[in-house]
């Protein structure tokens, strides 16, 4: 790694509950977060920052945010939080009152931050009380203004709701409304290296407005892969993961999908003399 490399880990859809309660009666989301933190802390080199792209907790409750904050104390990397449809803006801001970047907007969880040469712009696509997402006209104007101010600066634009249809029908019924409005802004600014989102609890990529959109897997449960129109709203416990976005001046952003947890290995491909192990 060069000294100019910037490593941004993206985790998403933590859905933390209070009091050890399981999500949907099945998923130990807090245990999954603890495992995620261990995996992140053990990365070598460690990421410069972690961004959490929404659905921090399950029902937007104060005690859930307190449980989350307590768990995040073990994370040895600076982190930034964003709002998803399961979050409550007021409760989120109260729980993270010491996160000064959250004061950039009085109501929404919208902020800009810098990580070395890289810029991060977080949009709040949550709509209070609704599962779908929407960006306010003011949010799009703010995005345009921020992008126009530093057109040479490589930038990650982030929002919880994906601005595309995934093919998973029950998720596509709670989409980002009017994604074309976001696309019109993004298309004008080639410094946007990625649009990063969550919500889908799966790693999905597609071309969007001249850049690449990546949705992150969930840290605990995943949305079941079911591309039938009548597919039910089901989740599963496939291996959980996160995304690691590695920026270098030579290549821009390279994104790795990473598994959470411990697995056998690593083992060498080669003998000490350099020959391939047969
Ligand atoms: Fe979620």
Tokens describing residue 240 = 């959980």
- The pLDDT tens digits for 181-215 are 999 999 999 999 999 999 999 999 999 999 999 99
Q: What is the CATH number of the domain that holds 144?
A: 3.60.21.10
In the chain, beta strands by DSSP E: 6-11, 49-52, 79-81, 111-115, 118-122, 126-127, 130-133, 155-158, 192-197, 204-208, 211-215, 222-223, 235-236, 241-248, 252-259
Is the CB of residue 142 less than 8 Å from the CB of residue 121?
no
Please write the tens of the pLDDT for every residue from 104-153: 999 999 999 999 999 999 999 999 999 999 999 999 999 999 999 999 99
Is 267 domain-assigned?
no
Question: Does residue 61 surpass a pLDDT of 90?
Answer: yes
Residue 199 CA to ligand 1 center (angstroms) comes to 5
Residue 103 belongs to a domain: yes
pLDDT score of 20 more than 90: no
Strand order in the sheet with 118-122: 111-115, 118-122, 155-158, 192-197, 211-215, 204-208
Distance 276 CA to ligand 1 centre (A): 44
Instruction: For residue 236, report the distance from its CA to the centre of ligand 1, in Å.
Output: 13
Q: pLDDT for 71-90, tens place per residue?
A: 999 999 999 999 999 999 99
Phi, psi of 115 (to 5 degrees): -135, 95
How much is the pLDDT for 2? 54
Using an 8 Å Cβ cutoff, are 160 and 199 in contact?
A: yes
Is 152 a domain residue? Answer: yes
Task: For residue 43, give both structure tokens.
Answer: 């990365």
Residue at 75 is within a domain: yes
Contact 195, 235 (CB under 8 A): no
Residue 71 lies in a domain: yes
* Residue 1 pLDDT exceeds 80: no
In a domain, 173, yes or no: yes
In a domain, residue 275? The reply is no
Q: How far is the CA of 86 from the centre of ligand 1 (A)?
A: 7
Say if 265 falls within a structural domain: no
d(CA 15, ligand 1 centre) in Å:
7
Tally of structural domains, the chain = 1
Q: How far is the CA of 16 from the centre of ligand 1 (A)?
A: 10
- The whole domain housing 231 covers 6-259
54 Cα–ligand 1 center, Å:
7
**CA angle, corner 262, sides to 5 and 245, nearest 5?**
20
- Distance from the alpha carbon of residue 219 to the mean position of ligand 1, in angstroms: 10
Distance (Å) from CA 66 to ligand 1 centroid? 18
Round to whole Å and give the CA distance between 91 and 62: 6
Report how far ligand 1's centroid is from the alpha carbon of 97 (Å): 23
Kindly give, in sequence order, each residue whose CB lies less than 8 Å from that of residue 204, ignoring residues fewer than 6 positions away: 162, 166, 214, 215
């Amino acid at each position: 790694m060069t000294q100019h490399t910037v490593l941004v880990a993206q985790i998403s859809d933590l859905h933390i509950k209070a009091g050890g309660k399981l999500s949907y009666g099945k998923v130990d989301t807090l245990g999954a977060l603890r495992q995620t933190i261990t995996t992140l802390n053990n990365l070598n080199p460690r990421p410069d920052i972690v961004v959490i792209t929404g659905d921090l907790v399950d029902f937007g409750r104060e005690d859930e945010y307190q449980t989350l904050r307590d768990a995040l104390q073990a994370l040895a990397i600076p982190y930034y939080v964003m709002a998803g449809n399961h979050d409550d803006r007021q409760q989120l801001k109260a729980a993270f009152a010491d996160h000064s970047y959250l004061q950039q907007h009085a109501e929404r969880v919208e902020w800009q931050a810098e990580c070395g040469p890289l810029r991060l712009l977080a949009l709040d696509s949550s709509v209070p009380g609704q599962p779908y997402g929407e960006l306010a006209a003011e949010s799009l104007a703010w995005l345009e203004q921020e992008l126009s101010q530093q057109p040479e600066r490589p930038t990650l634009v982030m929002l919880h709701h994906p601005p595309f249809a995934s093919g998973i029908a029950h998720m596509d019924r709670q989409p980002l409304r009017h994604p074309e409005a976001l696309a019109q802004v993004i298309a004008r600014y080639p410094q946007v290296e990625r649009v990063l989102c969550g919500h889908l609890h799966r790693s999905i990529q597609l071309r969007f407005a001249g850049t690449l959109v990546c949705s992150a897997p969930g840290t605990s449960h995943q949305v079941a892969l079911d591309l039938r129109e009548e597919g039910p709203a089901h989740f599963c416990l496939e291996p959980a993961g996160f995304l690691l976005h590695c920026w270098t001046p030579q290549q821009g952003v390279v994104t790795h999908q990473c598994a959470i947890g411990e697995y056998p290995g690593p083992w060498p491909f080669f003998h000490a003399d350099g020959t391939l192990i047969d």
